[in-house]
Structure 1
């Protein structure tokens, strides 16, 4: 599986934004300390732009920028043969050459680089008028997941409460209330009772700033 397969599997822009918000909200509850989170969402990242992100603490990450022109997706698997660290600081041929000009600022965004080069092994985009997602014309190295797209974006492609529960068991080494997870996946407003079912060690007051940043609906 490569970025091309992920491009065929991702939903339309509005649904992808919902998915990113749900995962960030659940992670905010599961890990009240931001440094320990896997998924995040910043609805105030830049004027008229939201950004969803993932980081696993081991050097792998992705960023999804939702802008008026569309969406730009960057993924980085630091162990991939397509990493610029493996290729003398150069991006893999074809990765960004066909990115539309409206996303040029995201390709050169300092927050997505190591100071010199975009940290990316996956690049996807979709303009608002497009009927699907796009990736560059790339000759991938051998392997089942040469660019890391399969595992990097697994939770956005295999999007289900059950998949998130499995993730919590693996990443947070914890169990989580299944019905509470399903409620957030159904975009139900977050309540004190729902938060407590997900994580008895936090509450709505402690999460207020995070929920404002994510932009997820809540009651009370």
Structure 2
């Protein structure tokens, strides 16, 4: 998705991107922001994977409540080493409706069994067919399916292949 998003988006209009990749001392971070108030933030660090989601329509969004409940937000991060909690600003933590981390096992603290927007995890496509459907619908393009399958399976294409993939639209 990142490859297509970067190719299709004018470098001067980064605010239009669906996904942004950054690298820092912590590792690699991918931020998916659908422009509608929902985001999925995935960080790959030296020892773990951190996944933070924010669904602005979730009942767990503190911005949609009459009374702010910091305990809900803090609860998502309970048990996570402070070193990794500090990778997020307070503002970023406030924009949390679910949080998952993986070290050697999966950890997730939920609040009263409520869905905090885990539907955002659907951006992780578990099949080529779902990836193909998303790419063609979201970007309104027709693609070379063989090249798109190669991108799905290998995560990259040469510059020439990328042009061939998109040029078919």
Q: TM-score, normalised by structure 1?
A: 0.65
1:211: which partner in 2? Answer: none
The answer on 1:139 being equivalent to 2:112 is: yes
1:148 to 117, 120, 140: 117
1:60–1:78 CA contact under 8 A, matched in 2:
yes
Instruction: Give the C-alpha shift of residue 172 in structure 1.
Output: 1.9
2:133: which partner in 1? Answer: 166
2:98–2:117 CA contact under 8 A, matched in 1:
yes
Count of residue pairs the alignment pairs up = 163
Q: Which structure 1 residue ranges, 5 or more long, are not aligned?
A: 1-22, 202-220
Displacement over 4 Å in runs of 4+: none
Deviation track 1:158-181 (CA, whole Å, cap 9, x = no partner) reads: 423221221123322222221111
Q: TM-score, normalised by structure 2?
A: 0.82
1:69–1:102 CA contact under 8 A, matched in 2:
no
Instruction: Give the C-alpha shift of residue 49 in structure 1.
Output: 1.4
1:29–1:198 CA contact under 8 A, matched in 2:
no
2:102: which partner in 1? Answer: 126
Deviation track 1:42-85 (CA, whole Å, cap 9, x = no partner) reads: 2x2x2141101100011111111111131221100000001011
Higher relative contact order (CA 8 A, sep 6+): 1
Change (3 A) 1:31 1:179: farther
- How far apart are the structure 2 equivalents of 1:31 and 1:161? 23
C-alpha RMSD over aligned residues: 2.4
1:109 to 81, 89, 94: 89
- How far apart are the structure 1 equivalents of 2:130 and 2:159? 24
The answer on 1:184 being equivalent to 2:151 is: yes
SS at match of 1:198: helix
- How far apart are the structure 2 equivalents of 1:137 and 1:36? 32
Change (3 A) 1:169 1:191: closer
Instruction: Give the C-alpha shift of residue 195 in structure 1.
Output: 1.2
